[in-house]
Structure 1
Amino acid sequence: MKYKVHKLKVNMNEDQQLLEQFLNNLRGEVVSIVPNIKPIFRPMGATAKVDFLLIIEKLVN
């Protein structure tokens, strides 16, 4: 089995269509989607946002 890892930069509030289109265009099977979460410190407190997604695809032979 061969796998391919894709990195997709997303803005979670605006890029739902981009993610949907990307996933529909993959030829293999999606094994996992791993978000990279980046902490953000603001005067009112700490929060976090998703910086990019790693999408692991299992390639079809």
Structure 2
Amino acid sequence: MKYKVHHFEIKMSEDQQKLEQFLNRLHGEVVSIVPNVKPIFRPMGATAKVDFLLIIEKLLN
């Protein structure tokens, strides 16, 4: 089996359509989507932001 890892830059509030189109164009099977969560510290408290997604695709033979 062969796998391919895609790096997908994303802004969670804006890129839902862009992600949907990207996933529909893949030829293989999506095995996993791994978010890169970055902590953000602000005066009112800590929060987190997703910078990008790693999308793991299992390629068809």
Q: Name the CA distance, whole Å, in 1 between partners of 2:19 and 2:42.
A: 28
Runs of 4+ in 1 over 6 A off after TM superposition: none
- Tell me the SS of whatever aligns to 2:27: coil
Q: CA deviation at 1:32?
A: 0.2
Q: CA deviation at 1:31?
A: 0.2
Identity of aligned residues (%): 82
- In the alignment, what sits opposite 2:39? 39
Using structure 2 for the length normalisation, give the TM-score: 0.99
Q: CA deviation at 1:11?
A: 0.2
- Gapped runs of 5+ residues in structure 2? none
Q: Name the CA distance, whole Å, in 1 between partners of 2:18 and 2:54.
A: 14
- Gapped runs of 5+ residues in structure 1? none
When the two chains are superposed, the root-mean-square deviation of aligned CA atoms in Å is 0.3
Give per-residue Cα distances to partners, 1:20-57, cap 9 Å, x unaligned: 00000000000000000000010000000101000000
Using structure 1 for the length normalisation, give the TM-score: 0.99
- Tell me the SS of whatever aligns to 1:7: strand
